[in-house]
Chain A
Amino acid sequence: MELWYTEQHTDDVRFSIKVNKHICSAQSEFQRIDVFEAVEFGKFLTLDGLMMVTEKDEFIYHEMIVHVPMAVNPQIKKVLVIGAGDGGTVRELTRYPGIEQIDMVEIDEMVVEVCREYLSQTACKLDDPRVKLYFEDGLRFVRTKQDAYDLIIVDSTDPFGPGEGLFTKEFYGNCHNALKEDGILVNQHESPYYGTYARSMKRAHKRIKEFFPVCGVYQAHIPTYPSGHWLFGFASKIYDPLKHFDASAWNALGIHTQYYNTALHVGCFAIPNYVKELLDSEDE
């Protein structure tokens, strides 16, 4: 018998992983939640059938979404994380002793429950005393905050489904309002490669630019995401991700990482020409 997990990356492209065992399948109010176990990728989580994290490559995503902004402003103390139910982003954040407060807002409590039970590799730091979990709509949560956070990380699903509201103009505007005057917004920024994802990427970039004076895009290689080429958005009110980046200060923190390093920090903002052109073009 052969058991394969297949994700449709486009109408005409499929990505498959051979599965040992289907460990968990649940239906929440918002989405279908599954955990599988594979030889190649270890355990992995899917939401509505779409790949979220695998044990083998989650470090790339979580290190890149956290250490890039932290290396630009190591003084960050209050962080808001939206989405991120698997806990991986929070795990990376808890490695900074200077961070005093991490508010994590996940709309779907069941995702967190499932990850606590089956994906302790990412969910292991959700009980850190600095972490406070809120199970509500991210858009709603951020609406009521003003001048409250040094960093907001948007670790969402794709903008088709429960994550839709986190790719909207009203959300970015509310985030701008919730950030302090030197605040940074980092979001998962989809992929430039396939059409549907590229459109989401362009829309997100266009909208973020309307609110933030500094607006960059950086990239990472994530094998299990569509096309493997994934982007992150770096937006801030003051800090430039390269000019204000102090490599020796970050290295002095002594945080051991598997993917991120300070040379890569500089390199990841160098993006391919076709992506630059997509980001600069006006049409959606």
Chain B
Amino acid sequence: MKKYTQQNAPIHEALLRHKANRVVPFDVPGHKGGRGNKELTDFLGENCLKADVNSMKPLDNLCHPVSVIKAAEELAAEAFGAAAAYFIVNGTTAAVQAMIMASCKAGEKIIMPRNVHRSAINALVVCGAIPVYVNPGVNAQLGIPLGMSLADVENAIRENPDAKAILVNNPTYYGICSDLVAIVALAHRHNMLALVDEAHGTHFYFGEAMPVSGMKAGADMAAVSMHKTGGSLTQSSLLLCGPSISAGYVRQVINLTQTTSGSYLLMVSLDIARKNLYQNGKELVRKTVAFAEYARSEINKLGGYYAFSKEMINGDTVFDFDTTKLSVHTLDIGLAGIEVYDLLRDEYGIQIEFGDIGNILAIISAGDRTLELERLISSLSEIKRRYSKDKAGMFDHEYINPEVVLPPQKAFYNKNRMVAIEESLGEISAEFVMAYPPGIPILAPGERITGEILSYIQYAKKKGCFLTGTQDLNIEKINIVEGI
């Protein structure tokens, strides 16, 4: 096999060769380089459609890579300091699920914070592993969930010495990091695997003075959302593994659910994004941090908003902070984050990543320009001037400690029935309810529906949060577990 270096992008090069060879396509996809769908080709461009090809010998096969995909994955592993890397084309959701399903079987325990992304709990519904939730710390002023405290993880381990793995959210959507090195060491001392949902942390591997990355901290697996901050196309992602993990087994687990028609558009975007990060990552992250720091200081000057950062660090539940994140607390101007989020889009033509009850988050990257940052800052200034209200009566926290009654899989597959949400008080939920984004469940299957949760759901609806998860698309009814 050809020897590749970080200056190469093996999949990109193979696609260029394939195109230059003018291979006649009598295989799928049926659009045949775009000729079969003119409107789509006019919209996306001929280059794009010509790169949308099927697996074949010179282009390798994602399910069983032996040539260019294998080479591209090895380069990714090297770039990220991992023993192995897998290209994922079903979103970071698939990477998180593969990580969990490769670590735990049905009935086995996994320790995780409750403020995980829905994909982690979904994996438990699929594979039947049992979650042991560690309550994340909560910042009372901001009302947001933080990282896991080391003492809480120790407790969870003491009470569940048979757990197979610990999953850490690092960083959280808001940019908060746990003490990853200590948690990984703790896990390993107790023969547990350390897994990191690093969906928002791709840049940790390339920037200077960033919080520690999963692989650097010695984690066994990490799900890295290349498309979020790494520059690849939406839905492309990486699963990284440390040396202790059986590479072949992980591949088998990934193949349980991943498509057999891996998109070359997604794969080539991972390949080129990896090359770019390796070559320019330091500078890209430096620029991103500079933009975010500027916006933070200007927004904090406006008054009323609080764009938080490293001052939150407390050595434990906020062990470190990702300064590329622009998270802003909005409750002090009397507006829920979701209201500011909607105003920014509807009134000012600015789309940010999410707004929840008390905060908004804007994703900053090296692709931004000062011009757009100034628009964001000025719009926030105008929103404060024109829309701010008395803050009395605002719901002030994002996180509710759940009462877990049943494992997610048992609750999901148990006999259940649909009732009106307001009549579900005291019942056990058989499904998820979450605001999306951020996609952290308010309720997960198997959890008790409390009065606090119901008023949270009602409030979130009233403020305009986009709620998801239940079978009933209007989120007026909910499935509850029967007979338990």
Beta-carbon contacts under 8 Å, A154-176 to B = 162, 164-165, 168-171, 173-174
Find out whether the CB atom of A174 lies under 8 angstroms from the CB atom of B382: yes
Find out whether the CB atom of B371 lies under 8 angstroms from the CB atom of A143: no
The residue on B at minimum CB distance from A172 is B382
Q: How far is the CA of A170 from the CA of B344 in the complex (A)?
A: 10
> Is A95 in the interface zone, CB < 8 Å from B?
no
Find out whether the CB atom of A140 lies under 8 angstroms from the CB atom of B371: no
Determine, out of B139-147, B219-227, B256-264, B372-380, the stretch whose residues face the partner at the interface. B372-380
> Is B347 in the interface zone, CB < 8 Å from A?
yes
B352: min CB distance to chain A, Å: 14
Query: Per-residue CB proximity of A199-234 to B under 8 Å, as 1/0?
Result: 000000000000000000000000000000000000
Find out whether the CB atom of A165 lies under 8 angstroms from the CB atom of B374: yes
Find out whether the CB atom of A140 lies under 8 angstroms from the CB atom of B382: no
A111: min CB distance to chain B, Å: 16
Find out whether the CB atom of B381 lies under 8 angstroms from the CB atom of A143: yes
Q: How far is the CA of A271 from the CA of B219 in the complex (A)?
A: 70
A267: min CB distance to chain B, Å: 35
> Do A168 and B349 contact each other (CB < 8 Å), given the known contacts A173-B385, A177-B385?
yes
Q: How far is the CA of A171 from the CA of B379 in the complex (A)?
A: 8
B386: min CB distance to chain A, Å: 7
> Is B370 in the interface zone, CB < 8 Å from A?
yes
A68: min CB distance to chain B, Å: 27
Partner of A139 from the list B347, B375, B385 (CB cut-off 8 Å) is: B375
Find out whether the CB atom of B371 lies under 8 angstroms from the CB atom of A169: no
B348: min CB distance to chain A, Å: 6
Find out whether the CB atom of B382 lies under 8 angstroms from the CB atom of A165: no
The residue on B at minimum CB distance from A137 is B374
The residue on B at minimum CB distance from A29 is B370
Beta-carbon contacts under 8 Å, B358-388 to A = 370-371, 374-375, 377-379, 381-382, 385-386
Find out whether the CB atom of B378 lies under 8 angstroms from the CB atom of A171: yes
Find out whether the CB atom of A173 lies under 8 angstroms from the CB atom of B370: no
Number of A-B contacts (CB under 8 A): 43
> Do A169 and B348 contact each other (CB < 8 Å), given the known contacts A137-B370, A137-B374, A164-B371?
yes
> Do A170 and B371 contact each other (CB < 8 Å), given the known contacts A139-B378, A143-B381?
no
B381: min CB distance to chain A, Å: 5
B66: min CB distance to chain A, Å: 48
Find out whether the CB atom of A169 lies under 8 angstroms from the CB atom of B374: no
Which of B298, B349, B374, B381 has the most chain A CB atoms inside 10 A of its CB? B374
Q: How far is the CA of A143 from the CA of B295 in the complex (A)?
A: 14
Query: Per-residue CB proximity of B204-234 to A under 8 Å, as 1/0?
Result: 0000000000000000000000000000000
Partner of B375 from the list A162, A170, A177 (CB cut-off 8 Å) is: A170
Find out whether the CB atom of A170 lies under 8 angstroms from the CB atom of B385: no
Residues from chain A with a CB closer than 8 A to the CB of B382 are 169-170, 173-174
Partner of A165 from the list B347, B375, B381 (CB cut-off 8 Å) is: B375
B175: min CB distance to chain A, Å: 25
A177: min CB distance to chain B, Å: 6
Find out whether the CB atom of A140 lies under 8 angstroms from the CB atom of B378: yes
Residues from chain A with a CB closer than 8 A to the CB of B375 are 139, 165, 168, 170
Q: How far is the CA of A261 from the CA of B385 in the complex (A)?
A: 39
> Do A169 and B370 contact each other (CB < 8 Å), given the known contacts A139-B375, A174-B381, A177-B385?
no
B235: min CB distance to chain A, Å: 30
Q: How far is the CA of A143 from the CA of B348 in the complex (A)?
A: 15
Residues from chain B with a CB closer than 8 A to the CB of A137 are 370-371, 374
Query: Per-residue CB proximity of B267-284 to A under 8 Å, as 1/0?
Result: 000000000000000000
Find out whether the CB atom of A143 lies under 8 angstroms from the CB atom of B378: yes
The residue on A at minimum CB distance from B347 is A169
Q: How far is the CA of A105 from the CA of B191 in the complex (A)?
A: 63
Residues from chain A with a CB closer than 8 A to the CB of B349 are 168-169
Beta-carbon contacts under 8 Å, B318-374 to A = 347-349, 370-371, 374
Find out whether the CB atom of A173 lies under 8 angstroms from the CB atom of B386: yes
The residue on B at minimum CB distance from A146 is B385
A48: min CB distance to chain B, Å: 14
Q: How far is the CA of A174 from the CA of B349 in the complex (A)?
A: 16
B370: min CB distance to chain A, Å: 7
B267: min CB distance to chain A, Å: 34
Q: How far is the CA of A168 from the CA of B376 in the complex (A)?
A: 11
Find out whether the CB atom of A165 lies under 8 angstroms from the CB atom of B371: yes
The residue on A at minimum CB distance from B379 is A170
B159: min CB distance to chain A, Å: 52
Query: Per-residue CB proximity of A102-144 to B under 8 Å, as 1/0?
Result: 0000000000000000000000000000000000010110010
B255: min CB distance to chain A, Å: 47
Find out whether the CB atom of A139 lies under 8 angstroms from the CB atom of B348: no
Residues from chain A with a CB closer than 8 A to the CB of B381 are 143, 170, 174
Partner of B348 from the list A162, A164, A170, A177 (CB cut-off 8 Å) is: A170
The residue on B at minimum CB distance from A177 is B385
Q: How far is the CA of A196 from the CA of B385 in the complex (A)?
A: 32
8 tightest Cβ-Cβ pairs between the two chains A and B: A170-B378, A170-B379, A173-B382, A139-B374, A170-B382, A137-B374, A139-B378, A140-B374
Can you report 10 residue pairs joining A to B where beta carbons are below 8 Å apart? Answer: A139-B374, A139-B375, A139-B378, A165-B378, A168-B375, A169-B379, A169-B382, A171-B378, A173-B386, A174-B381
Known: A139-B378, A169-B348. 14 other contacts (CB 8 A): A137-B370, A139-B374, A140-B298, A143-B377, A143-B381, A164-B371, A165-B374, A168-B349, A168-B378, A168-B379, A169-B379, A173-B382, A173-B385, A174-B378
